[in-house]
Structure 1
Amino acid sequence: MKLAVVLAPYDSGHYRSGCGLGPEALLSAGLVDALQSRGHDLIVHDIGRVGDVPGREIATGFAVCTAVAAQVRAACEDGRFPIVLAGNCLTAAGGVAGETADSIAWFDQHGDINTPETSGFGFLDGMALSSILGLCWRPMTAAIPGFRAIEPERCLLVDARDLDPDEKLLLDRLPVVRASCEEAVGQAGKLISAGATRLHLHLDLDVHDPETLRVNRYATPGGPDPVQLRKTVCNLAQSFPVSGMTISAYDPSVDVARKVPPAVSTLLVNFLAALRKS
């Protein structure tokens, strides 16, 4: 299978810091060898430094999305399946734009569906999904070439268990499909019924139960273990038209035993095998 791995090593506007160190850590732990040994034709592209004002979270965050969109688009035009390794969840907007995805499955312990009006901390990544759904930062997302907001009824939010009060209120009003990891494949059929044809798969690695896999400093009890998550994404790959994926939010500094890279490698190997069969 032809693949393109795109590295977006940023965390809240900072280059190669915090979760921005995650993409390279995943790669250097043998991910390329693991994929190539399964017969995949693989290219890797690091977007490098983007934006002209280092440390400015909003400007840099959307500049990263634009750079990722260009690389994902080029991968798709070359017949490659795009896999984006990112520090921040907002980067998924670049994947959506580059793939022209019209639906999204969002695996995350957080809702990421705050807006500037509801966010108590002003954390841009806490508005990542709401940006992709067209609920906020519309001039910024409109500047990402190829971006089209995804309709809320074509969004599957999986295992979001750490929600702000305003996020809960918003999700009560929106037709976003919500599910646990075990329910996700069955609930994803609702996206197809809503007209979905190209699904972007977003995996914030902190969706995992921190008792089984701790990926960053944020930890809320519950969530799937690595085996459960692998099973779900493989079933999605065999059942739905997945056009690309983003993997985000790994901070190597909290993973002293380096359990995360082999878990991600195994997940990707199994997921791509399932995608081949679809």
Structure 2
Amino acid sequence: MKKHISIIGVPMDLGQSRRGVDMGPSAIRYAGVVERLEELEYKIHDRGDIEIGRPGKDEHVLASDGNLKFLSAVSKASEKLASAVDEVIEEGSFPLVFGGDHSIAIGTLAGVSKHYKNLGVIWYDAHGDLNTADTSPSGNIHGMPLAVSLGIGHPTLTNIAGYTPKVKPENIVIIGARSLDEGERVLIREKGIKVYTMHEIDRLGMTKVMEEAIDYLKNKTDGVHLSLDLDGLDPSDAPGVGTPVLGGISYRESHLAMEILEESKIITSAEFVEVNPILDHGNSTATVAVALMGSLFGEKLL
């Protein structure tokens, strides 16, 4: 990994329905992320937070589609984030993005993917985030960013940064899935997206899962983005998330996954999302996020 890391905070809470996740970037900073990474001899440039505009009273749902909440505000924020990430990569730095809800991945991937011919994505998450306005039970855009990045969804979102798609289905690996809507299952089968559910993690073990995921991506991609939703972990280890799902990946398994990714040297950008301090206990979820970043960036016990 590059020894220069640029942090971008995205205090976005419009992609879902539970307030408080906009404080996630501040919670992660408060948990000591800059100091932790500096101890690993990285040069850190904290670019601060993307400004997230508040929607007007008539912007709750796009009338013509009827099932996309805060579309205009989310798309504007995504354009700003895409531009910031693009600048970071142009400067030769590693983009590290803090959320905010998972809708921010739309902007992150739009900024990252233009620099790669075959970007790979590891989606570490309890959910597939492969819904569209037609399949989403809620209309919340944080359940749609992976579909959007595949070029599937409303054109305002799929064309962020002026191009689509951002990633190919054969270059995606979802790890930790345990809550999928029917429309997402159909899309996964149609597109042949590689998914390791909790069944595979339990059966194969995290070491095997990560080794297979890395082997699957390393020879056909020229960069790999890690999108880590803290709800990928079990709620007992990461309680401060908006959509907790029981039976998730353990704290230790997640550290192992990050350690294996660090050893592989394939990760070229990353984001950590869905830290909600309002729902948390003593900022423990942000502390977990920072600890996982430590492992991802090479922290060792000995």
Q: TM-score, normalised by structure 1?
A: 0.89
Structure 2: distance between partners of 1:47 and 1:258: 19
Structure 1: distance between partners of 2:39 and 2:88: 21
SS of the equivalent of 1:220 reads: coil
Aligned residues: 272
The offset of 1:140, in angstroms, is 2.7
Trace 1:207-226 onto structure 2 (pairs within 5 A).
Answer: 207-226=232-251
Q: Structure 2 regions of 5+ residues with no counterpart?
A: 60-69
The offset of 1:257, in angstroms, is 2.7
For residue 215 of structure 2, what is the aligned residue in structure 1?
A: 189
Cα separation, partners in 2 of 1:144 and 1:217, compared to 1, 3 Å: same
Q: Which letter maps to 2:189?
A: D
SS of the equivalent of 1:3 reads: strand
The reply to whether residue 142 of structure 1 matches residue 159 of structure 2 is: yes
Which of 232, 236, 247 is equivalent to 2:257?
232
Q: Which letter maps to 1:190?
A: Y
The offset of 1:136, in angstroms, is 1.2
For residue 3 of structure 1, what is the aligned residue in structure 2?
A: 5
For residue 167 of structure 1, what is the aligned residue in structure 2?
A: 184
Per mean C-alpha deviation after superposition, the further-off stretch among 80-89 and 174-183 is: 174-183
The reply to whether residue 261 of structure 1 matches residue 274 of structure 2 is: no
Structure 1: distance between partners of 2:280 and 2:287: 12
Asked if structure 2 preserves the Cα contact closer than 8 Å seen for 1:95 and 1:200, the reply is no
Per mean C-alpha deviation after superposition, the further-off stretch among 177-186 and 72-81 is: 177-186
Structure 1: distance between partners of 2:248 and 2:13: 23
Q: Structure 1 regions of 5+ residues with no counterpart?
A: none
Per mean C-alpha deviation after superposition, the further-off stretch among 161-170 and 233-242 is: 233-242
The reply to whether residue 206 of structure 1 matches residue 231 of structure 2 is: yes
The offset of 1:190, in angstroms, is 2.1
For residue 68 of structure 1, what is the aligned residue in structure 2?
A: 81
For residue 25 of structure 2, what is the aligned residue in structure 1?
A: 23
Structure 2: distance between partners of 1:257 and 1:47: 23
Q: TM-score, normalised by structure 2?
A: 0.82
For residue 91 of structure 2, what is the aligned residue in structure 1?
A: 78
Asked if structure 2 preserves the Cα contact closer than 8 Å seen for 1:93 and 1:147, the reply is no
Alpha-carbon deviations, 1:105-145, whole Å to 9, x = none?
Answer: 10111111111111122111111111011111234331325
Q: Which letter maps to 1:103?
A: G
Structure 2: distance between partners of 1:58 and 1:188: 34
The offset of 1:11, in angstroms, is 0.7
Structure 2: distance between partners of 1:51 and 1:141: 20
Alpha-carbon deviations, 1:185-235, whole Å to 9, x = none?
Answer: 313422345x22111100010000112221224221112112211211221
Cα separation, partners in 2 of 1:28 and 1:233, compared to 1, 3 Å: same
Asked if structure 1 preserves the Cα contact closer than 8 Å seen for 2:125 and 2:232, the reply is yes
The offset of 1:51, in angstroms, is 4.6
Cα separation, partners in 2 of 1:59 and 1:30, compared to 1, 3 Å: same
Cα separation, partners in 2 of 1:139 and 1:62, compared to 1, 3 Å: closer
Structure 1: distance between partners of 2:163 and 2:36: 32
Structure 1: distance between partners of 2:35 and 2:265: 27
Structure 2: distance between partners of 1:234 and 1:137: 37
The offset of 1:240, in angstroms, is 5.1
The offset of 1:52, in angstroms, is 7.3
Give identity over the alignment, percent. Answer: 24
Structure 2: distance between partners of 1:188 and 1:34: 26
For residue 102 of structure 2, what is the aligned residue in structure 1?
A: 89
Asked if structure 2 preserves the Cα contact closer than 8 Å seen for 1:66 and 1:145, the reply is no
Structure 2: distance between partners of 1:141 and 1:166: 18
